[in-house]
Amino acid sequence: MTGAPDRGRWRGVTLDERAAFFKGVWFRTKARDRILETVRRRLVYIDIHAKSRGISVLCESGGGKSTLLEHLAKLYPREDQNGRTRAPFVLMKLPKLFSPSQLLTMALDAVGDPDPSEGKLKVRQDRLRDLLRKCDVKILAVDNFHDIPERARSTVRTVGNWFRDLVDDVPLLLLTLGTEDAKSVRVFNTQLRRRQMTEVEMEPFECKTEEGKKEWLKLLEQINDVLPLMEDSTIHLKPIRGQLFIASRGNFDYLIELVTQAFTRVVQDSRERIETRDFYDAFIDTHGTVADGSNPFSEDFKLHLLTGPGEIFEDLALGKSVTVRGGHVSV
């Protein structure tokens, strides 16, 4: 637990203000702590040796990549001082066409170039490298790296070569984020693989092991303590914590969306405590019409994993993440 929360602070606070606060909370987990520590160590190495290094974060959709990127942007904020811009953290979007010219345009735009598509290729290449140095870019983050392997293998090599050449010229941390498919970019490019030394996975939470149960409980305790409500909702206690696990499949974003929908309903009803019925409604708000008996917060819910026909995780295997014993979820 994080200590007794000051619930009185939410007296008279609007829903918009509460939602903005909750959106900005950084929840600590072992995986997140490991990634942040790896980033810090790699930056120290780059400062000392002036050689680029990389981190590949593998995470399923909804696993918390966007939240991680937002947190890194806060840790390494962009600053404008005396006519000079420092941008230690830059998030680059991938183009629709994976050509060197398009990659260059998106990179220039990310750093802040006013005319990212203007000029010949060589001129823009020099401009990008000059901007990266002038803006003191430490981390170049590239989200949805898994989109690249959907293209031809030659395209994968082209992208890999482009990033390889960039990090050879400018010492920085290349941070790529994507699903398991993102591995293909490194597999098809040995030189990039050598520079992308560290692979870190942000896996869904699991409750099969005692360690996994403790990690899930720790997350729910953090959420419960910072909920922008004047009364304790005890979402970390049984049976809610098991119901939340089934409803979210241990996926971070799914969990946060459920909690957000629930406390939104509570505040709109001029209440200050989340009840099971709020999660029942939040589940419907999130997923719309679901198969009969598929709402984990229903009083007549028969314990099962939501992987049956018409259920929200029909195409996903949950067996390895949930242990069912004696009519209750072992969470």
- In the chain, where are the structural domains located? 30-202, 206-329
Averaged pLDDT, 149-177:
83
pLDDT digits (tens, 9 = 90+) for 179-213: 876 666 655 556 566 655 688 889 899 999 999 99
The C-alpha atoms of residue 37 and residue 288 are separated, in whole angstroms, by 39
Averaged pLDDT, 247-275:
96
pLDDT class of 4 with cuts at 50, 70, 90: confident
Pair 72, 177: CB distance under 8 Å: no
CATH value of 30-202 in 3.40.50.300, 3.20.20.210, 1.10.287.130, 3.20.20.70:
3.40.50.300
φ, ψ at 231 (rounded to 5°): -125, 150
Q: Is 129 helix (H, G, I), strand (E, B) or coil?
A: helix
The C-alpha atoms of residue 262 and residue 258 are separated, in whole angstroms, by 6
Q: Is the pTM of this model over 0.75?
A: yes
Name the amino acid, one letter, at 328: H
137 against 309, higher pLDDT? 137
Name the amino acid, one letter, at 32: R
The C-alpha atoms of residue 277 and residue 297 are separated, in whole angstroms, by 7
DSSP structure class, residue 324 = E
Q: Which residues of 22-44 are buried (b: 16+ CB within 10 A; e: fewer)?
A: beeeebebebbeebbebbeebbe
First-to-final CA distance of the chain: 17
Provide the β-strand partners of residue 147: none
Pair 302, 249: CB distance under 8 Å: no
Pair 107, 128: CB distance under 8 Å: yes
Q: Which residues of 215-250 are buried (b: 16+ CB within 10 A; e: fewer)?
A: bbbbbbbbbbbebbbbebbebbeeebbbbbbbbbbb
Averaged pLDDT, 8-25:
97
DSSP structure class, residue 202 = E
Which of 48-62, 145-159, 165-179 shows the lowest mean pLDDT across its residues? Answer: 145-159
